[in-house]
Amino acid sequence: MSEQLQQPLYSQSLIVDLYELTMAAGYFENNYNHLSTFELFVREMPAHRSFLVVAGLQQVIEYLLNLSFSEDQITYLRAQPVFQHVTPEFWDYLAKFRFHGEVWAMPEGQIAFAREPLLRVTAPIIEAQIIETFLLSMINFQTLIASKAARVVQAAQSDGVNRMVMEFGSRRAHGPEASLLAARASYLAGCAGTSNVMAGMRYGIPIFGTAAHSWTMAFPTELEAFKAYHKVFPESTILLIDTYDIEEGARHAVEIGPQIKGVRIDSGDLLKESRKVRRILDEAGLQHVKIVVSGDLNEYKIAKLVAAGAPIDSFGVGTQMVTSEDAPSLGGIYKLVEQQIKGQVRYRAKFSRQKATYPGKKQVFRKTDSNGHFVEDIIGLEIDEIPPGHFPLLVPIIQRGELVYDFPPLPDVQKFFLQNLQRLPEKYKQLEPTEPYPVRCSTLLENLFNQLKQQELELESQE
């Protein structure tokens, strides 16, 4: 069905909190495996964020379609004392385990907000429960990074000029796989590419790289280092000019000649230095030579440089983007909202003011105006009629365990996100949010919630 899908890098089946498996065994032994619906959503927006960029769905689906437990894994589990009273039938069940459920989700690159289900799973509760940890880990991380990267790219282009942002953060990401996933999520949200070669090969992302300070330091002089590099990469020479003295570095770059493509500045006052360097290049007739800057950048520093008119052509951004430094976790949760017990729908909800969970299988309806701009979202029930002028955000991805969705290539996901971003009015995408995008519940959903709450109160008063 989908050419884009890949085999997971390694067996991910035991990337699971132990309690998912004790609950699984508990449901099995109690013969209590009702069809259940869980929804994945974020209760509150992370600090400073006004929208989320949905990411990680493809890796979730690759996991689900490949999810099974090997003999070794089952042997390990059986030996855990906690499982000592579990019957052999459960282990037989686990040995044959496959995901047979249904998944609806917002496509990657969709713009989403707090409280909106990003993904909805309906399956026998054992299947729906076991997958929780992986789903959260993958969607939380990629959505976190995509949402951060979108801000960085926005800042780089905040004067309307199409400056590139390159993701350079592999060395500071949370381990090797995080570097790979961060490269993917950043590209999806508008970065031009990454320094991470594996991300290039695995996801088809453009890869970028220049040279490090060590290159310059390894040669007797900076000029010799530049010459040695240019000899091997004559058509793609970007010279790092701040190892010793930036202005001298710029003059050495000029000496290499007009074939060089760019220079990179990785330290110092980037506004001042980029201006000096631009002047040196221009005076030598190298107007076409680009200036790339890097060095602990974030959206705020970049917006300031752009607003000051710094003559910078592209940004290399690492640490702060790939760790989402100012808000380094996304609090996505996965909540039971509905069960089918003996043919009856049983809604599940939580009524506490801070941690309310709304019941029922949901859909998100987005209203657009005549220009296609996003106006408002309504969180409704799946059975809600689509209100006029709205379109539904959750689409079917897996049905009866089978893929029913054609994953687009990653460049198309990026295009889709950039179109969505265009459709989101300016006032909802400031770096510091001023006005939240309006999200409300449908009448049907509010009524259901209130009705269940009323029943709960009545039950309590009877006790």
Give, as ranges, the residues between 279 and 318 that touch a copy of itself (CB under 8 A).
none
Q: Where are the alpha helices (DSSP H) in 38-131?
A: 57-66, 71-78, 88-95, 125-130
Please name every residue paired with 112 in a beta bridge, in sequence order, or none if there are none: 52
> CA geometry: angle at 320 spanning 318 and 326, to 5°?
170
Candidates 94-102, 275-283, 326-334, 390-398: pick the segment binding a copy of itself (CB under 8 A). 326-334
Nearest-approach distance from CB 242 to a copy of itself, in angstroms = 10
Figure out which of the listed residues 100, 231, 288, 427 binds a copy of itself, where binding follows CB under 8 A. 231
CA–CA distance from 93 to each of 37, 74, 121, 285, 377 (Å)? Answer: 21, 11, 20, 73, 41
Q: At 244, list the tokens.
A: 């010793």
Judged by beta carbon, residue 229 or residue 365, the one nearer a copy of itself is: 229
Piece in contact with a copy of itself (CB under 8 A), picked from 92-100, 169-177, 421-429, 431-439: 169-177
* Contacting range for a copy of itself; rule: CB under 8 A; set: 92-100, 150-158, 201-209, 439-447: 201-209
The span from the CA of 402 to the CA of 386, in Å, is 26
Q: What distances in angstroms separate CA 303 from CA 85, 272, 430, one per listed residue?
A: 60, 15, 11
User: Does residue 330 bind a copy of itself (CB under 8 A)?
Assistant: yes
Residue 185 C-alpha from the chain's centroid: 5
CB of 257 to a copy of itself, least distance (A): 16
**Bridge partners of residue 38, in order along the sequence:** 121, 336
Of 136-155, which residues contact a copy of itself (CB under 8 A)? 136-138, 140-142, 144
Task: Report in angstroms how near the CB of residue 332 gets to a copy of itself at its nearest.
Answer: 8
Residue 70 found at the interface with a copy of itself (CB under 8 A): no
Nearer to a copy of itself, 328 or 387 (CB): 328
Q: Round to whole Å and give the CA distance between 160 and 309.
A: 12
For residue 35, state whether it binds a copy of itself (rule: CB under 8 A): no
Closest CA to 365 of 117, 139, 121, 44: 117
Distance CA(142)–CA(303), nearest Å, equals 23
Least distance in angstroms from the C-beta of 434 to a copy of itself? 26
Which of these segments, 232-240, 270-278, 303-311, 432-440, binds a copy of itself (CB under 8 A)? Answer: 232-240
Binding residue for a copy of itself, selected from 196, 314, 363, 442, defined by CB under 8 A? 196
Residue 381 and residue 392 in contact, taking contact as beta carbons nearer than 8 Å: no
234 lies in the site for a copy of itself, by CB under 8 A: yes
Q: Scanning residues 375 to 414, which ones bind a copy of itself (CB under 8 A)?
A: none
Parallel, antiparallel or unpaired: strands 193-194 and 164-167? parallel
Given the complex with a copy of itself, which of 213 and 423 has the nearer CB atom? 213
Nearer to a copy of itself, 155 or 185 (CB): 185
Among 173, 205, 297, 306, binds a copy of itself (CB under 8 A): 173
Helical segments of 284-399, H only? 299-307, 319-322
As given in the structure block, the two tokens for residue 407 are 């994953």
For a copy of itself (CB under 8 A), the number of binding residues is: 101
Q: Can residue 251 be called a binding residue for a copy of itself (CB under 8 A)? A: no
Query: Whose Cβ is closer to a copy of itself: residue 122's or residue 170's?
Result: 170
Q: Which stretches of 237-285 are DSSP H helices? A: 246-256, 270-283
Nearest-approach distance from CB 429 to a copy of itself, in angstroms = 24
**Judged by CB under 8 A, does residue 19 bind a copy of itself?**
yes
**Closest C-alpha to 35, from 237, 441, 337:** 337
Q: Is 85 in the site for a copy of itself (CB under 8 A)?
A: yes
Contact map string, positions 354 to 373, toward a copy of itself, x by CB under 8 A: -x------------------
Q: Which of 111, 146, 260, 336 is the binder for a copy of itself (CB under 8 A)? A: 336
- Copy the structure tokens of residue 459: 């039950």
Distance CA 324, CA 145 (A): 6
Interface with a copy of itself, residue 4, by CB under 8 A: no
Residue with smaller CB distance to a copy of itself, 228 or 444: 228
Q: Is 22 a binder of a copy of itself (CB under 8 A)?
A: yes
Among 2, 4, 66, 319, binds a copy of itself (CB under 8 A): 319
**Phi, psi torsion values for 208, nearest 5 degrees:** -130, 150
Contacts of residue 119, Cβ cutoff 8 Å, sequence gap at least 6: 39, 40, 57, 60, 103, 104, 105, 106, 135, 139, 394
